[in-house]
Structure 1
Amino acid sequence: MGGTTMGGRVTRFLSSRRRVKTLEFSYVVEQPQHETSCVVGDVEFEFLDDANIYSACSSDDSNEIELDQHHDDDQDNDDDTCNLEDNRTFWDNQHQILQANVCRTSSLESRIRHATKEALQEIQSEESVCGCGREMAAATSCRSCLMREVSRRLQKAGFDSAICKTKWRSSPDIPSGEHKFLDVIDTTSSKKGEVIRVMIELNFRAEFEMARGSEDYNRLVRRLPEVFVGKVERLTNLIKILCMAAKRCMKEKKMHMGPWRKHRYMQAKWLGPCERNTSTTPLLSSSSSMGYSQQSHRIIPKPKPRASMLTVDLLDKLSTMHCTAVEVL
């Protein structure tokens, strides 16, 4: 869709349950990929450089990464005494698999990633004011307004972008919750009837950070981009890798793993059924020609007078009542 409409549509998006196949890389990555960053407000948004992505990765799609598809958060191995060599092998493998997934990209993902990067830079340069009524100095301080503005600019660039909201109930394994993120639906594939969904998470790395994470785990998380733009299967693999790493980290430190770190919880965040809302509202620009301040744009409705039914009834009858004065001795 080329333009932005004030009245968008809300649809339900059901995730597919098919098994996702990805790529296997036999090489060992010696150095992390270079990242380019753009600063929006007080938040640093980092993107993987597409040029480095293409140079580091092969285009062969025939192999498969051996992820533990039957992995369960509640299935703990009996061999709790893992030696240092086993741990080192595990973390080295996780780094290789993570790098193989992060550096993969397609022309569609690259175009959406570039448009998202430009949108964030434009929002920062225009000094947009938060339009949700909260006391925010800038739109980048408010996640909801930032997502809405990025989605609006992606729509303007010709992408079918929307704000997605997942919501799930509590279970014996995980607590209830909800999460919002962006996505782009593309139906221009050469394959008839194929629908490609590209996920956009503006705060991806922070979703996996742990205050008490081990050095190996934190080093793995630091290789994630701050802003994730990628297909569903790529996100599925990254969630799997990070959740397995979080479980191993907690096991090494002999700490309990919170339910919000479990694989099922992370899957519910991005991969569960969601509502897609294409409605966007432009943010208020502090540099507009009208020169209004943030307070000038906020409309405070006049409070309505409140009265009970008894008060209204008495006011109607007092004008017609004739009472005789009585002197009290």
Structure 2
Amino acid sequence: MEDWLFSSGDCSRPHQFENAERLRFRHGSTHAYLEETPVLPGIWLYRGEATANCQFQIEVGGGDRQGRVIMGGLLSSRGMLNLEGCDDMVWRDDGRFYALSPIERHCRYDIDAERGWRLVALRVEAEAMDLLGADDRLPDIVNDVLTVRRDNLADMGTLPGGIRRLSQSLLRTPFEGRVGKLFMQSKVLELLAYQFQHLGERPAPKTLSAIELTRIRMSRDMLLANLRDPPDLEALASAVGLSSKKLNRGFRDLYGTTVFAYLHDARLDAARAALEAGTPLPLKQLAWELGYGQVSNFVTAFRRRFGVTPGSLRDAKAPA
């Protein structure tokens, strides 16, 4: 059994997922949860969220299980991840993909949730190899961990757009009961395929300088500050002193997607957050506030992204 520990300030809470699938943690302004769900033999899904403007830590005991790999997406937050015996992995931006082999090694996450924390990760153990296929069908790095030939995997990089979108769809599934389980299983297998593809690739070295990274982050903040009427690509690039080509390439390197796609996702994320928070705005007004000229376009984009219409989500969140 593995001991998990959530802590913030002088408050801490231990948890064992063998006893309960969801850990809820509250301390002051910090409201967070982490959920472990068995999905298929040898495969578990982790989902977690926390409120904005809070800081907390998650520590996981090394346990005694061998042959497991964690592959996850940090959709929002910044912080540091440490696997005992490996170099610290520090991230400053939303959208980080990471892979770990927590085999008899203590693991610690230090989370700075300035804009909230959202995590979707999969744990794959050797038992899943019967389902996933022969050894030569898995990326070498995954096969080496599952067959206990490697125990020091600790890697982090840009979260690809495909993994980001699938992670978003798994964070809150639109179905319940048997249909919900089937939906979750299908999305988890699809996510695994994208994760394996990503781990099997060897991306080219990044060529962004420190100044360029700063300017790209500035441009991202400018987009988020005005979702209704953001500058176009040329104006945004000019405002931060980059060419439009360099800015788009930088967004791909840093956030795993283009400027336009990032803006599209940010608008829909903001819409969902507003609806879940109980905004009284009519859908037409909400769509306009987020830059949609037609409410029908907003509804279509929302349904494609989250599997439900904004009206259905609002109805589901309404008090009985």
TM-score normalised by structure 1 residue count? 0.25
Structure in which a larger fraction of residues adopt helix: 2
RCO higher in 1 or 2 (8 Å CA, sep ≥ 6)?
A: 1
TM-score normalised by structure 2 residue count? 0.26
Q: Rg: which structure is higher?
A: 1
